[in-house]
């Protein structure tokens, strides 16, 4: 059974990223309905999701509508107890819930000065004192969580959990705005940037509609600090090694080239999300290595 999830622009909607990770990172089937921010699309889409007014909003297979990411996380954990959204150890689980609750309600200065933008990375954003204080609080929480749960993984409470999904948008802000944090915190950020689900989300966000002017900043730019993408590029024509899209199985209409080889897809979005980060897509990489 598949849930529905209303999301905003993938490149910019940090709450949508958090909500989607609660599905994709834990193997829970989801069908997304995307609505562009700063238009009437979100309000129009949410007419079928009363009483929701924000993205993300989930609708369960039985028709229950659940806005807000904490509520989504808890309901998914109840309905999918084997998915591992929260740690099984009671102490680690309580710690993860503390982390998620503070992220949901706090860090307003960081959010305001550094809105999520997955399409850019800057050398410096001149963070004011309030943002630096938020960063210090993040480092305190992350260090406390790892110490108190004795985590030996890159994540805060052992295995990747809903708490990590909640902090993924903050990790992207640190990457986008080159915010000053210590080595241990940066290792946690880098783990997020390399996480397969996040890489898929960002790849889609890179080609998911036009830039949103609200998020543009004039700071000097640098390369995205996450994993370097393979040099795939979109090309004209339909000639390709495969005749069916690796994602849908439908006939090839759009093609990319990678290291002199051509691979086909059923539409521009399938091709372009693969161009954005080919290694993020296991079905494409299986085709590439076949």
**pLDDT for the residue 1:** 85
47 exposed, middle or buried (CB, 10 Å; 0-12, 13-18, 19+)? exposed
**Residue linked to tokens 């849908």:** 248
The mean pLDDT of 120-133, rounded to a whole number, is 97
Give the mean pLDDT of the chain: 97
What is the rounded radius of gyration, in angstroms, for the C-alpha atoms of the chain?
A: 19
Per-residue pLDDT at 163 exceeds 90: yes
CA distance 50 to 42: 12
- Sign of torsion, CA 133 124 192 170? positive
Asked if 177 and 125 touch (Cβ cutoff 8 Å), the reply is yes
**pLDDT for the residue 205:** 98
- Sign of torsion, CA 218 221 224 229? positive
The domain spans of the chain are 3-79, 90-201, 233-289
CATH of domain 90-201: 1.20.1050.10
> What's domain 3-79's superfamily in CATH?
Glutaredoxin (3.40.30.10)
pTM of the predicted structure, to 2 decimals:
0.97
Which of 193, 171, 214, 177 is closest to 36 using CA atoms? 214
The reply to whether 3-79 and 90-201 are identical in fold is: no
Per-residue pLDDT at 206 exceeds 90: yes
Q: Phi first, then psi: what are they for 221, rounded to 5°?
A: -100, 160
Query: Alpha helix (H) ranges present in the chain?
Result: 14-24, 41-45, 69-79, 90-105, 108-113, 129-149, 162-177, 183-194, 196-206, 268-276, 282-289
């Amino acid at each position: 059974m598949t849930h529905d999830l209303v999301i905003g622009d993938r490149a910019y909607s940090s709450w949508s990223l958090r909500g989607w990770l609660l599905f994709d990172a834990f193997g829970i089937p989801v069908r997304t309905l995307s609505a562009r921010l700063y238009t009437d699309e979100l309000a129009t889409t949410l007419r079928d999701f009363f009483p929701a007014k924000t993205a993300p909003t989930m609708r369960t297979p039985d028709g229950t509508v659940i806005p807000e990411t904490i509520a989504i996380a808890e309901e998914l954990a109840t309905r999918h107890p084997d998915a591992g959204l929260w740690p099984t150890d009671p102490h680690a689980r309580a710690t993860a819930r503390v982390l998620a609750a503070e992220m949901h309600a706090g860090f307003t200065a960081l959010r305001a000065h550094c809105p999520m933008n997955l399409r850019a990375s800057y050398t410096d954003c001149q963070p004011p004192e309030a943002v630096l204080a938020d960063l210090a609080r993040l480092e305190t929480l992350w260090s406390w969580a790892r110490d108190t749960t004795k985590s030996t993984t890159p994540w805060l409470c052992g295995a990747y959990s809903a708490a990590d999904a909640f902090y993924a948008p903050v990790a992207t802000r640190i990457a986008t705005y080159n915010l000053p944090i210590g080595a241990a915190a940066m290792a946690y950020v880098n783990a997020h940037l390399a996480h397969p689900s996040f890489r898929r989300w960002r790849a889609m966000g890179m080609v998911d509609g036009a830039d949103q002017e609200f998020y543009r900043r004039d700071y000097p730019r640098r390369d995205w600090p996450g994993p370097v993408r393979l040099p795939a590029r979109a090309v004209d024509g339909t000639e390709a090694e495969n005749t069916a899209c690796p994602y849908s199985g439908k006939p090839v209409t759009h093609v990319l080239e990678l290291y002199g080889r051509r691979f086909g897809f059923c539409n521009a979005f399938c091709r372009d999300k693969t161009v954005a980060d080919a290694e993020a897509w296991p079905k494409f990489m299986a085709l590439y290595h076949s």
